[in-house]
Amino acid sequence: MNPVREYGAAGRVGIAVPQANPVVEPEMGALMPAGVSVIASRLTSAEEDQRTRFTAYFEQLGETLKSYDTLRLDALGFACTASSYLVGAAREEELAAELSAHVGYPIVTGAQAILAAFARLDIRRVVVIAPYPQFVLDAGGDYFRAAGIEILAKHRVATRTSDTRTIYELTGDDAIAAAESIDLTGADALLFTGTGMPSLRAIDTLGARTGIPILSTNLCLAWALATRIGADMADGPHPLFNGWQDRIARL
């Protein structure tokens, strides 16, 4: 018998977050249904080379999971899509399945959650907006094309420097401005990929304006995790996941 939980009665969800990322925890806290606890761990690496650092976040996930000690999670989300794009879907699936079997709960990556959301909504043609350096943006395009997704356009949101950690200086206004500057004709959806760029206000604002689903990595990952643990899903205007819209103002 599971012990009674004062918090997290509807589920305990772990989130593995890049070390300097200040966006994932607040967005996940807003997104998750009532009764679901979000418990974060940090993906750490001392590597200055961005490609090496992103790869290390994923390849060292087993060590990151040890930081939960005896805490029993119901599922865990890996919140760094750049890592998935760089290691590729085959390695991503291999390690996620291996670690899931070891710890006894499902591990879902942000990129896997995006593909699951695409399948759920029958999305085949997308416009992608991201604050990544070009090599990550290109890897992301390859990742989605390998899954049968047509990328109609890719738009990079400029950051102050080439250091990916300046992504965390961006705001929802930057995401909205990027979306309003790009042609969405023929797209089944608009995707904001990159967990460090605030996305919820942009999703809420742009949905009615564009008439197509507006998705982000964090939104898709929260939906995938909530689905895995069987959390109650709220009704609302978003075609994938609802219940969070009124909580944006508290962030």
Q: What is the pTM of this model?
A: 0.96
What is the per-residue pLDDT across 201-230, written as a single tens digit (0 to 9) for each?
999 999 989 999 999 999 999 999 999 999
Cα 244 from Cα 196, distance rounded (Å) = 18
Instruction: Look at residue 233 and tell me whether its pLDDT is greater than 50.
Output: yes
Identify whether the C-beta of residue 170 lies closer than 8 Å to the C-beta of residue 194. no
Whole-number Cα distances in Å, 171 to 34, 157, 197: 26, 11, 7
First-to-last CA distance in the chain? 36
**What integer pLDDT is reported at residue 4 of this predicted model?**
84
Kind of pairing between the strands at 125-130 and 150-156: parallel
- Among candidates 72, 116, 62, 70, which has minimal Cα distance to 226? 116
Q: Is 148 left (phi over 0), alpha (psi -120 to 50) or beta?
A: left
Find the Cα–Cα–Cα–Cα dihedral 165, 170, 176, 181, rounded to 10°: -70
**What integer pLDDT is reported at residue 46 of this predicted model?**
95
Q: What is the mean pLDDT of residues 43-56?
A: 96
Cα 122 from Cα 110, distance rounded (Å) = 18
Output the six-digit token pair for 167: 């992504």
Q: 113-216 is classed in which CATH architecture?
A: 3-Layer(aba) Sandwich (3.40)
**What integer pLDDT is reported at residue 214 of this predicted model?**
98
Domain boundaries, the chain: 11-110+218-250, 113-216
Domains 11-110+218-250 and 113-216 share a fold: yes
**What integer pLDDT is reported at residue 1 of this predicted model?**
36
How high is the mean pLDDT of the chain? 96
Output the six-digit token pair for 232: 């109650």
Cα 102 from Cα 172, distance rounded (Å) = 38
**What integer pLDDT is reported at residue 93 of this predicted model?**
98
Instruction: Look at residue 2 and tell me whether its pLDDT is greater than 80.
Output: no
Output the six-digit token pair for 191: 């995707």
CATH of domain 11-110+218-250: 3.40.50.12500
What is the per-residue pLDDT across 17-47, written as a single tens digit (0 to 9) for each?
999 999 999 999 999 999 999 999 999 999 9
What is the per-residue pLDDT across 116-132, written as a single tens digit (0 to 9) for each?
999 999 999 999 999 99
Instruction: Look at residue 98 and tell me whether its pLDDT is greater than 90.
Output: yes
Cα 180 from Cα 107, distance rounded (Å) = 34
Residue 15 pairs in a beta bridge with 40, 77
**What integer pLDDT is reported at residue 66 of this predicted model?**
98
- Among candidates 91, 96, 93, 25, which has minimal Cα distance to 61? 96
Kind of pairing between the strands at 107-109 and 125-130: unpaired
What is the per-residue pLDDT across 138-188, written as a single tens digit (0 to 9) for each?
999 999 999 999 999 999 998 887 777 878 889 999 999 999 999 999 999
Cα 131 from Cα 140, distance rounded (Å) = 12
Q: What is the mean pLDDT of residues 230-242?
A: 96
**What integer pLDDT is reported at residue 88 of this predicted model?**
98
